[in-house]
Amino acid sequence: MMSDAFSPVSSRSGAADTQMKTVVILISGRGSNLLALLEAKLPGRISAVISDRGEAQGLAFAQARGVATAVIDHRRYTSREAFDAALTEEVEAHRADLVVLAGFMRILGDDFVRRFAGRLLNIHPSLLPMFPGLKPHAQALAAGVKIHGCTVHFVTPSLDAGPIVVQAAVPVHGDDDQKSLAARVLVQEHRIYPQAVRWFLEDRLRLSPDGRVVLQGEGPPAQPLIAPASA
């Protein structure tokens, strides 16, 4: 269920609407989606990359591009609430208009999610609402689906259940394993995540009365993907 506090595209202040918006990216590991975002020439400023692990490879990507980095090591905190409080303080220090989860592996508490409601994005490697949670590629293969993909969505307190911004689909091949399917999906993640962030920064996302995200200036629908295709 969508949080009552959720309202997409809410800025920190009215002044933020006329200034370049700032983005804070949260990571835990190698940062391939982070790298896609850093290279996307977004119409905003990536003000910081924050990791819950000091050894996260993505920190080096950010530092090499002159982006500020910080580590809020979850292992130093005795509770999720304490970790979330420290993370909130760090994010707020960078005056984030948008918080982007890019391979961030910690489940955020409800207080954090509600604080950044409408300006907290995540990407999940499945066509939500199918296969939420862990091991979505394994879930897809076990279910025998012919089409799989990825979803960018706003984060709400319910796991992987927030309003959907954009999705991309790929065919599932008969000889796929988790590794090959994940690699095919990852290519699309690198396409649609920067696009979703761009739309947010351009103030093109709105929430309809029935809880769906609407893109202003939406183009014509793409051609349908049929899988498997006959020879």
Q: Name the residues annotated as catalytic.
A: 124
> Which residues in the chain belong to E strands, given as ranges?
22-27, 45-51, 69-71, 98-101, 120-124, 147-154, 164-171, 205-207, 213-215
Listed in sequence order, the residues at least 6 apart from 230 whose beta carbon sits closer than 8 Å to its beta carbon are: none
Q: Which residues on neighbouring strands pair with residue 25, listed in sequence order?
A: 49, 100
Do 172 and 231 form a contact (C-beta atoms < 8 A)? Answer: no
* Nearest residue to 103 (alpha-carbon basis) of 153, 56, 55: 56
